[in-house]
Amino acid sequence: MAVKTLKAKKSFFYSIAVLIVLTPLIALVVFYSISSSQTSSSGVSKVVSREAVNFINSIDSDFERALTTSAKSAVVSSISRVVSEGQPLDDARLSLENLAYNGTFPDSASAYPTMGFNYLSRWASTMQNLSRYYGLNSTISFSPSDISVSSHGPFELLFTANISVFTQPSSNPGAFNFTKTYSTTAVVSIEGFEDPLFALNSQGLVSRVFKQNASGVAGVAALDQAIAQKYYVPDADAPGFLNKLEGNLFASEFGIETIINPNEFIAQDLPAHNQSHVDFLYFNSTLSDQGVRVTGSSYPWLKLDCAHAAFYGVTAQTPGC
């Protein structure tokens, strides 16, 4: 019996000894596991935070490019609709803003074909999806009122857009978040695009593209050169590009005009008018005949009104100005 008691005591003391030896080791393992977990979590947080900054920077560099692409597509689409349908736009500015925003005209729910995917709401959706690859959830917020269009000189349009971006980690939304507002602009030249006013006033049979005269037009030789090259010149009494999209012949601060060739209209069996050959006057059927032949021009058909004879520095034949 004494032997059994002695063995039990030895076994008990042995277990205590093993426990004393193992306790520091267990504590070390537990501490290492906790420390490793914290370090790993901190490392992941730093990586995600760095990716969020990279994503924010990518929007900074890509937003202007996206607006430029959307704006150019909007100009092309607005002209395309006027020319193909033979109808002016009700509101050119609003149409361009809508097209840049979601690819649609105000009177349609579907993206216009020539827009493709080149509009800002599509870009925003793409960027939101891209953020998931960075381990982020992002929201890019803006509305049609955050896009504006205005004339930027006679041959350019200015598009302005604003967006707000909110970003946070997908795995741990409470860890951090970024909110940033962006504003950018895009200037689009209309040179090389078709003048919608010609399509509207020729049943789509006569066309002309915008081509800016590199220098002023003064004198009969310079005027003949401008006619030969089908140049456009700035004139505050003429309609601007936005007016032209609406079929509007009223004067604009950034108006532009060109001299039409009546033979192009006659060749398409369109009626010729005894009117000044300045485009917006020639297309205005409500005006009385104002055409007076120009002295010294190499174009015997050329007629101008008195105001434009003075504007171009040429002499009108008598009876005239």
Per-residue pLDDT tens digits for 167-178: 888 888 777 788
Task: Classify residue 41: in a domain, yes or no.
Answer: no
Phi, psi of 154 (to 5 degrees): -65, -30
Cis peptide before 234 (omega within 30 of 0): no
- Place 316 in a pLDDT band, splitting at 50, 70 and 90: confident
Average pLDDT, the chain: 85
- Place 47 in a pLDDT band, splitting at 50, 70 and 90: low
Among the candidates 158, 189, 220, a domain finishes at 189
> For residue 79, is pLDDT > 50?
yes
> For residue 86, is pLDDT > 60?
yes
CA-CA distance, 92 to 95, in Å (whole number)? 5
State whether 60 and 174 are in the same domain: yes
- Place 9 in a pLDDT band, splitting at 50, 70 and 90: very low
> For residue 17, is pLDDT > 90?
no
Cβ contact 295:319 at 8 Å: no
State whether 164 and 241 are in the same domain: no
- What's residue 206's pLDDT? 96
Domain of 185?
Answer: 48-189
Amino acid identity of residue 226, one-letter, is A
- What's residue 16's pLDDT? 37
Task: Classify residue 164: in a domain, yes or no.
Answer: yes
CA-CA distance, 270 to 60, in Å (whole number)? 52
Structural domains counted in the chain? 3
What would the DSSP string read from start to end of 13-62? HHHHHHHHHHHHHHHHHHHHHHHHHHHHHHHHHHHHHHHHHHHHHHHHHH
- What's residue 26's pLDDT? 32
Q: What is the mean pLDDT of residues 243-258?
A: 97
Which residues lie closer than 8 Å to 73 by C-beta, 6 or more apart? 99, 100, 103, 114, 115, 116, 118, 119
- What's residue 51's pLDDT? 66
Amino acid identity of residue 231, one-letter, is Y
> For residue 229, is pLDDT > 90?
yes
- Place 13 in a pLDDT band, splitting at 50, 70 and 90: very low
State whether 162 and 204 are in the same domain: no
More confident residue, 109 or 290: 109
Which residues lie closer than 8 Å to 87 by C-beta, 6 or more apart? 81, 200
State whether 272 and 303 are in the same domain: yes
> For residue 37, is pLDDT > 50?
no
Q: Hey, which of 7-11, 53-57, 91-95, 288-292 has the most confident mean pLDDT?
A: 91-95
Can you name the residues that pair with 160 across neighbouring β-strands? 148, 185
State whether 151 and 232 are in the same domain: no
CA-closest candidate to residue 138, choices 156, 119, 125: 125
> For residue 142, is pLDDT > 70?
yes
Q: What is the mean pLDDT of residues 80-106?
A: 97
CA-CA distance, 154 to 256, in Å (whole number)? 6
Token representation of residue 197:
């006013």
Q: What percent of the chain has pLDDT over 90?
A: 67
State whether 181 and 202 are in the same domain: no
Q: What is the mean pLDDT of residues 75-90?
A: 97
State whether 125 and 234 are in the same domain: no
- What's residue 27's pLDDT? 37
Among the candidates 168, 189, 210, a domain finishes at 189
Task: Classify residue 38: in a domain, yes or no.
Answer: no
- What's residue 69's pLDDT? 97
Can you name the residues that pair with 303 across neighbouring β-strands? 293
State whether 164 and 294 are in the same domain: no
> For residue 100, is pLDDT > 50?
yes
- What's residue 40's pLDDT? 39
Token representation of residue 42:
């901190």
- For the stretch 183-196, pLDDT in tens is 999 999 999 999 99
Q: What is the mean pLDDT of residues 206-215?
A: 93
State whether 165 and 211 are in the same domain: no
Question: Any long-range contacts for 266-270 (C-beta under 8 Å, 24+ apart)?
Answer: 268/202, 268/203, 268/205, 268/206, 270/202, 270/203, 270/205, 270/206
pTM (two decimals): 0.82
